């Protein structure tokens, strides 16, 4: 089955928020944002914006009729700044005008005076100054303090891990339309319609049932619209409430990049102890998360970092601590992996150090410490199967790892200025929202009298193929062709109180709810069919290929006949169902529990080639064995693996967020923030699905796939380090990510860097001299 959106996408027919026909008299919004990163607003002159032709309203904090508060977990974030600002790009006022151009002219006309305060951009500095969000958390198992005694070697290090811009194709946007009787309908590009609904209601002082949020699909979210689409919907709704007219807000790329949060940068100090044979005895980490200026989802992201601090390994003595540190950057937020990648990066870095000191290949250390069935994670949950070993061995064997090693070693002996490197990257990622109550979903299914079917769930199609998966599930469950099934937009009047589409769990949660709803309808119509066919047991009735079977034999009755007859017999042909994942829990006081329904695992081998004179590199190949249970749709899942991998590769290589001393984003456009493109991606990507790995929980044995493959990308970082060491075995390289070509060049030639520092000349003459 093809992705059901594919044809619309290719023809450009897919509808997004601003493709809907424009209602008459629609107005457009633009946002006036803080030009400085920290300070008091001494005065702000909005009147000049009002004088711009076409401007209909200029709204600030005092124009919010309800509560000026949008914090999703901790109530620490205003929709519009009031008196002070905490990051450059923080919204201060909304200008509403007859055209987007007039609205932006209005924004430009606004002038303000600030009393600037010092800023913090470094999470460790924030920590030292007591700028902490929530409380630090620690997970522990065994006794690290006692275990250091048993170690033959003990090493310490620090990782500096960069953030990441989401670069969804569709920038943040929303359209709000006033409806009869104090109702506002919001068409939003959000992963979380209910968050938009309840927050718009809060800022307007409305009941939830007065706000309707509808999402047809979104042009990518990647976590960036799990929570940060909410204020966008609020701005549009606030404008609609004040003007009584429909209002649309569409951020352009640079506005989006400056205003919204990103993946959290971390600074993480680690200490690791091992025996001479490479068995890891103890591991201690301190994560300083750069949370930005407000909590957003940072505490939940930190929690997932802690849960993934040992990745695919069993370590008997572990202590991991994490702190959300408040800085003067935009509040950082969910991003594919949700803190997991940072946790995994640090343990991989620590194992790399152990391998270096023990003078053993890293994969030998990794292989010796893999989690086995029944091993506990530091938070108490036991690992349930042997799939880490299976994917590890399958990867090394089926892709001829020995051959790769030999080939690369030989290449490096034969070449002076070009070096190759490889790394093996295992991934073990927990599936479920770590916030247990969020693991719930609903579905609404109608069968019409012609046999066609309508399905609504609380899940959002964001390019990941959710609608294709749901159509496949509905088609299997009913026993009818997928072309009979229509997946409806996600709408808060049809599905209430939905969780965001996130945590890779959307198909799991909403797919199971869909099956439950379909089963209700099936049990009614099968009972009816048994009566019609004069057979005693409805259990023996099945539907396959649209034929009604009894004991597996054709009855002459087909799907459409049965539905027609059931309707005339007044059998209900609609159902709503609710699903919640069972047996997951967490006790935050004890920091123990079983937060995950299961883990998704896999292993990748990454190969790279580095030009050691220029710092340029190619990712040559990525070869993966991935556990995704029984795929609902192999093409959809493969798309998720390749897409996730691309984002992971970008995160550790070319995607380099830069802020200046004043907290201004320098990498504020796609010309100076480099995402991987088709040329950057390896020519050779091979993916094998682990056999016999069906999930008991996922619909039809499927497993979550959205986020885990991103973390294979981390392998590229260590493959690059491997090639760097082949060129300069005499040097120690810092554990800083991303490894941009510039950074590699500087690291490989520190002498050059020193030369540059000792000169007191302009960059231009320096460059000439160097050449």
Binding site for ligand HPA (CB under 6 A): 226, 297, 300, 304, 334, 338, 433-435, 438, 502-503
The answer to whether residue 220 forms part of the interface with ligand MTE (CB under 6 A) is yes
Burial 663-694 (b: 16+ CB within 10 A, else e): bebebbeeeebbbbeeebbbeebebebbeebe
Q: Is 648 in the site for ligand MTE (CB under 6 A)?
A: no
Contact present, 139 and 278 (Cβ < 8 Å): no
Least separation, in Å, of the C-beta of 220 and ligand MTE? 4
Q: Using CB distances below 5 to 8 A depending on partner kind, what does residue 434 bind out of ligand HPA, ligand MOS, ligand MTE, none?
A: ligand HPA
CB of 344 to ligand MOS, least distance (A): 15
Among 199, 501, 512, 654, binds ligand MTE (CB under 6 A): 501
The full 3-state SS of 229-278, as one line of letters, equals CHHHHHHHHHHHHHHCCCEEEECCHHHHHHHCCCECCEEEEEEEEECCCC
Residue nearest to ligand MTE (CB): 706
Q: 188, 174 in Cβ contact below 8 A?
A: yes
Among 336, 387, 592, 749, binds ligand MTE (CB under 6 A): 336
Is 193 a binding residue for ligand MOS by CB under 6 A? The answer is no
CB of 480 to ligand MTE, least distance (A): 23
SS3 549: strand
In the complex with ligand MTE, the residue whose CB is nearer, 310 or 499, is 499
DSSP assignment, residue 706?
Answer: S
Contact 697, 431 (CB under 8 A): no
Q: Which stretch binds ligand MTE (CB under 6 A): 26-34, 69-77, 339-347, 700-708?
A: 700-708
Going by their DSSP bridges, the two strands 598-611 and 617-626 should be labelled as antiparallel
308 contributes a contact to ligand MOS by CB under 6 A:
no
Residue nearest to ligand MOS (CB): 223
Structure-token pair, residue 745:
């060049």
Which part of the chain contacts ligand MOS (CB under 6 A), choosing from 124-132, 330-338, 376-384, 640-648? 330-338
Looking at the DSSP bridge assignments, the partners of residue 268 are 159, 287
| Binding string, residues 659-698; x marks residues near ligand MTE by CB under 6 A | ----------------------------------------
Identity of the residue, 541 or 704, whose beta carbon is nearer to ligand MOS in the bound complex: 704
Residues 625-644 touching ligand MTE, rule: CB under 6 A, are: 640, 643
Q: Note whether 288 binds ligand MOS by CB under 6 A.
A: no
Among 432, 436, 426, 514, smallest CA distance to 715 is for 426
41 binds, among ligand MOS, ligand HPA, ligand MTE, none (CB under 5 to 8 A by kind): none
CB of 763 to ligand MTE, least distance (A): 39
57, 466, 575, 719: which one contacts ligand MTE (CB under 6 A)? 466
Q: Is 706 in the site for ligand MTE (CB under 6 A)?
A: yes
Tell me the C-alpha distance between 91 and 235, whole Å. 10
Q: In the 8-state DSSP scheme, what is residue 534?
A: T
* Nearest-approach distance from CB 14 to ligand HPA, in angstroms: 25
Sorted by sequence, the CB contacts under 8 Å of residue 464 that are 6+ apart come out as 506, 636, 640, 706
- Considering the candidates 707, 732, 742, 769, report the single residue annotated as catalytic: 707
- Whether the CA torsion 342, 708, 578, 199 is positive or negative: it is positive
Question: How does DSSP assign 76-134, residue by residue?
Answer: ---SS--SEE-STT-EEEEEEESSHHHHHHHHHH-EEEEEE------HHHHHHTT-EEE
Distance CA 462, CA 457 (A): 14
Q: Which C-beta is closer to ligand MTE: that of 243 or that of 497?
A: 497
Nearer to ligand HPA, 313 or 429 (CB): 429
Pairing of strands 39-45, 111-116: antiparallel
Spatial CB neighbours of 183, under 8 Å, sequence gap ≥ 6? 210, 211, 212
Residue 738: cis peptide before it, omega within 30 degrees of 0: yes
Our answer to whether residue 393 is catalytic in this structure is no
- Give the nearest distance from C-beta 689 to ligand HPA in angstroms: 24
Query: Would you name the residues annotated as active-site residues?
Result: 707
Residue ranges binding ligand MOS (CB under 6 A): 191, 221, 223, 226, 334-336, 338, 502-503
Interface contacts to ligand MTE, rule CB under 6 A: 220-223, 336, 462-464, 466, 501-507, 640, 643, 704, 706-707
């Amino acid at each position: 089955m093809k992705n059901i959106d594919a044809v619309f996408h290719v023809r450009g027919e897919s509808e997004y928020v601003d493709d809907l026909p424009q209602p008459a008299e629609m107005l457009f919004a633009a946002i006036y944002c803080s030009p400085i990163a920290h300070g008091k607003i001494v005065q702000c002159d909005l009147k000049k914006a009002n004088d711009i032709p076409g401007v209909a309203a200029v709204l600030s904090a005092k124009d919010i009729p309800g509560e000026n508060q949008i914090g999703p977990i901790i109530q620490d974030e205003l929709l519009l700044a009031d008196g002070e600002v905490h990051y450059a790009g923080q919204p201060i006022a909304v200008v509403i005008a007859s055209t987007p151009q007039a609205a932006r002219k209005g924004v430009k006309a606004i002038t303000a005076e600030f009393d600037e305060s010092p800023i913090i951009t470094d999470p460790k500095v924030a920590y030292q100054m007591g700028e902490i969000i929530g409380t630090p958390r620690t997970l522990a198992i065994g006794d690290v303090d006692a275990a250091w005694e048993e170690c033959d070697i003990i090493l310490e290090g620090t990782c500096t891990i960069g953030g990441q811009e989401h670069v969804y194709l569709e920038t943040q946007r929303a359209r709000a339309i006033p409806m009869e009787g104090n109702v506002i309908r919001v068409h939003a590009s959000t992963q979380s319609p209910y968050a938009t609904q309840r927050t718009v209601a809060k800022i307007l002082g409305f009941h939830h049932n007065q706000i309707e949020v509808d999402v047809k699909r979104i042009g990518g979210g990647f976590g960036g619209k799990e929570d940060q689409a909410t204020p966008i919907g609020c701005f549009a709704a606030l404008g609609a409430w004040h003007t009584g007219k429909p209002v649309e807000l569409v951020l352009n790329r640079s506005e989006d990049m400056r205003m919204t949060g990103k993946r959290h940068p971390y600074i993480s100090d680690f200490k690791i102890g091992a025996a001479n044979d490479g068995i890891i005895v103890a591991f201690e980490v301190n994560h300083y998360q750069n949370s930005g200026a407000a909590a957003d989802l940072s505490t939940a992201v930190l929690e997932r970092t802690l849960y993934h601090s040992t990745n695919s390994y069993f370590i008997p003595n572990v202590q991991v601590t994490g702190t959300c540190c408040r800085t003067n950057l935009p509040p950082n937020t969910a991003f594919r992996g949700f803190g997991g990648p940072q946790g995994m990066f640090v343990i991989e870095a620590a194992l790399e150090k152990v391998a270096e000191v023990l003078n053993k290949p890293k994969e030998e250390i990794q292989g010796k410490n893999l989690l086995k069935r029944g091993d506990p994670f530091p938070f108490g949950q036991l690992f349930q199967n042997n799939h880490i070993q299976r994917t590890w061995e399958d990867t090394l064997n089926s892709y001829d790892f020995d051959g790769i090693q030999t080939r690369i070693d030989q290449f490096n002996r034969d070449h002076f200025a070009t070096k190759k490197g490889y790394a093996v990257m295992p991934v073990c990622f927990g599936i479920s929202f770590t916030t247990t109550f969020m693991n719930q979903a609903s579905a609404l299914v109608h069968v019409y009298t012609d046999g066609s079917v309508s399905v609504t769930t609380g899940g959002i199609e964001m390019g990941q193929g959710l609608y294709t998966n749901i159509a496949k599930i509905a088609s299997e469950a009913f026993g009818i062709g997928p072309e009979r099934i229509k997946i409806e937009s996600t709408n808060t009047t049809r599905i209430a109180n939905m969780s965001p589409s996130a945590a890779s769990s959307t198909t799991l949660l909403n797919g199971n709810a869909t099956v439950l709803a379909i089963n209700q309808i099936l049990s009614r119509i099968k009972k009816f069919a048994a009566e019609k066919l004069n057979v005693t047991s409805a259990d023996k009735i099945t539907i396959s290929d649209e034929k009604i079977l009894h004991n597996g034999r054709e009855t002459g009755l087909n799907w459409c006949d049965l539905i027609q007859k059931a309707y005339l017999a007044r059998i209900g042909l609609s159902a709503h169902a609710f699903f919640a994942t069972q047996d997951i829990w967490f006790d935050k006081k004890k920091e123990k529990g079983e937060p995950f329904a299961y883990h998704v695992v896999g292993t990748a081998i990454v190969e790279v080639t580095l030009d050691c004179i220029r710092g340029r590199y190619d990712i040559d190949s990525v070869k993966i064995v991935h556990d995704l249970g029984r795929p609902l749709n192999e093409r959809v899942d493969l798309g998720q693996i390749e897409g996730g991998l691309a984002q992971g590769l970008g995160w550790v290589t070319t995607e380099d967020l830069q802020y200046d001393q004043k907290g201004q984003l320098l990498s504020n456009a796609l010309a100076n923030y480099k995402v991987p493109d088709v040329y950057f991606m390896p020519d050779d990507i091979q993916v094998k699905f682990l056999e016999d790995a069906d999930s008991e929980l996922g619909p039809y044995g499927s497993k979550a796939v959205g986020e885990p493959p991103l973390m294979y990308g981390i392998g590229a970082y260590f493959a690059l380090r491997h090639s760097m060491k082949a060129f300069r075995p005499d040097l120690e390289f810092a554990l800083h990510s991303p490894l941009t070509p510039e950074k590699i060049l500087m690291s490989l030639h520190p002498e050059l860097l020193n030369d540059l520092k000792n000169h007191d000349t302009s960059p231009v003459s320096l460059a000439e001299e160097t050449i």
